Amino acid sequence: MTNDMTKGSPASLILYFMLPVLAGNIFQQFYNVVDSVIVGRFLGVNALAAVGSTGSIVFLVWGLVTGLASGFSVILAQQFGAGDQKTLQHYEGVSVWLCGVLGLIMTALLVLGLNPILHLMNTPQEIFAQTRLYLGVLFAGILITFAFNMLAGMLRALGDSKTPLVFLVISSVINIVLDITFILVFHTGVEGAAYATLIAQAVSALLCIRHIAKKYEILKISRQDIKGDVYSVKKLLGVGIPMGLQFSITAVGTMIVQAALNGLGPIYIAGFSAAGKIGNIATQAFPSLGVAMATYTGQNMGAGRLDRVQAGVSAGFVICLICSAAAGGAVYLFGPELIQIFASGDSDQMIQYGVQYLKISVWFYPPLSLIFLYRNTLQGLGDGLVPMLGGLFELAARFGAILLLSGPFGYTGICFADPAAWIMALIPLVPVYYWRMRKVKKEQEALVTGRARPAC
């Protein structure tokens, strides 16, 4: 069922859309955690470090995929808000073949460049082979990742955030069952966890296709819709590429952090990785709000309702503060117990390093939440460049923190790299949002004035 977000209470609409996305994101993070728990407990610390060390690389690749798909869905949301079904279907068709072409190119480049990437990241020799196996499987299945993200983005562009949630729950259960089956029954090693993830994503994508075919007449496209023109491709890529690069730039920063961790050894990698997964689950309200804001803003931008965009941002600000306090409190109180879930045998040092990172990062959750509020609102307005600039600020901060702090302070200095990045990423977003709103308002007023001017 479609959800018109141009009418009704902004706060209620945003929360109504956000909560299913949040539940879906938590399930997605949950089955990522299950991968790590099963790997850590049954394959050992080195295997956990191998999977954990891939986090930044996977974030780089999947972030680019997610950003591109999200950018395309922003254009679809704008057309839905404007009530232009024909143009919506055209952009949908062009998005489909663009995702296919980009997916094939990325698969070829990443599979061929995997060894140099791992050497560049200073991957420890004792986990190199397992890391390569795990990433090799994931990179070979990028088209599957593209398919699910694009299809889920289409549904969310129409205001439907519940259906992707249902499919994610189903795929999460499948992922857990396959993790156990591949690793404990078939003894496939770390690559079994990667196969489980891809199969689960494939199931979600197929369910999305079936649901769209049965329920959404508005998303049914013809051959004519698939034919791309220069203007349509340029418009889609003009939003999608900056959003994808913004994720990727952030991921490059995390790769710098990972490279510094790799130099310390597997016990540090495992502790930081476990803490990162817990932190990711605790903060899933932030990106979930971001997805809601992008769709809400896109629809209202298409309908010309800037007043509603402003009201939505005000409501989102309050939601950010509440979610930051709740997430920070939960992680600070229960972090040590949660990290122990990943441990096997004598892993006191791993737990200690994981807790240290969590207790530093929780104090910086408020600026992290506001990044998603302002960044995704700008993306909903069709501005992908400034959010990408925020990513560059984030990259510079991470690199600077590693350069200046990791030497004299070691692991503690590395733990401050993420908080420094979050603060710096927020700096360009807030003033540009207000500038952008004033600019769009003046453009709309000029358009209305021009239409109202009597003919000479």
Per mean pLDDT, which range of 198-207, 280-289, 446-455 is the poorest? 446-455
Per-residue pLDDT tens for 393-420?
888 999 999 999 988 999 999 999 999 9
| Mean pLDDT, the chain, integer | 86
pLDDT confidence of residue 454: 45
Calculate ∠ Cα 219-164-173, nearest 5°.
Answer: 140
Question: What band does 455 get if pLDDT is binned at 50, 70 and 90?
Answer: very low
Residue 83's region, left for phi above 0, alpha for psi from -120 to 50, else beta, is left
Per-residue pLDDT tens for 81-131?
888 888 999 999 999 999 999 999 999 999 999 999 898 878 888 889 989
Q: What is the 3-state secondary structure (H, E, C) of the chain?
A: CCCCCCCCCHHHHHHHHHHHHHHHHHHHHHHHHHHHHHHHHHHCHHHHHHHHCCHHHHHHHHHHHHHHHHHHHHHHHHHHHHCCHHHHHHHHHHHHHHHHHHHHHHHHHHHHCHHHHHHHCCCCHHHHHHHHHHHHHHHHCHHHHHHHHHHHHHHHHCCCCHHHHHHHHHHHHHHHHHHHHHHHHCCCCHHHHHHHHHHHHHHHHHHHHHHHHHHCHHHCCCHHHHCCCHHHHHHHHHHHHHHHHHHHHHHHHHHHHHHHHHCCCHHHHHHHHHHHHHHHHHCCHHHHHHHHHHHHHHHHHHCCCHHHHHHHHHHHHHHHHHHHHHHHHHHHHHHHHHHHHHCCCCCHHHHHHHHHHHHHHHHHHHHHHHHHHHHHHHHHCCCCHHHHHHHHHHHHHHHHHHHHHHHHHCHHHHHCHHHHHHHHHHCCHHHHHHHHHHHHHHHHHHHHHHHHCCCC
pTM of the model: 0.75
Q: Residue 456 pLDDT more than 50?
A: no
More confident of the two residues 344 and 264: 264
Largest Cα–Cα distance of the chain, in whole Å?
86
CB 339 within 8 A of CB 274: yes
Residue with tokens 């130099």: 263
pLDDT confidence of residue 343: 67
Q: Residue 451 pLDDT more than 60?
A: no
Q: Residue 347 pLDDT more than 90?
A: no
pLDDT confidence of residue 346: 55
Per mean pLDDT, which range of 24-33, 41-50, 103-112, 324-333 is the poorest? 24-33
pLDDT confidence of residue 444: 76
When pLDDT is averaged across residues 283-309 and rounded to a whole number, the result is 90
When pLDDT is averaged across residues 301-318 and rounded to a whole number, the result is 92
Q: What are the structure tokens assigned to 445, written together?
A: 């007023």
Q: Residue 379 pLDDT more than 90?
A: no
When pLDDT is averaged across residues 60-86 and rounded to a whole number, the result is 89
pLDDT confidence of residue 31: 65
Per mean pLDDT, which range of 241-245, 280-284, 320-324 is the poorest? 241-245
When pLDDT is averaged across residues 161-189 and rounded to a whole number, the result is 87
More confident of the two residues 449 and 39: 39
**What percent of the chain is modeled with pLDDT above 90?**
38
Question: What band does 360 get if pLDDT is binned at 50, 70 and 90?
Answer: very high
Q: Residue 250 pLDDT more than 80?
A: no
pLDDT confidence of residue 368: 94
**What percent of the chain is modeled with pLDDT above 70?**
95
Q: What are the structure tokens assigned to 402, written together?
A: 């590693």
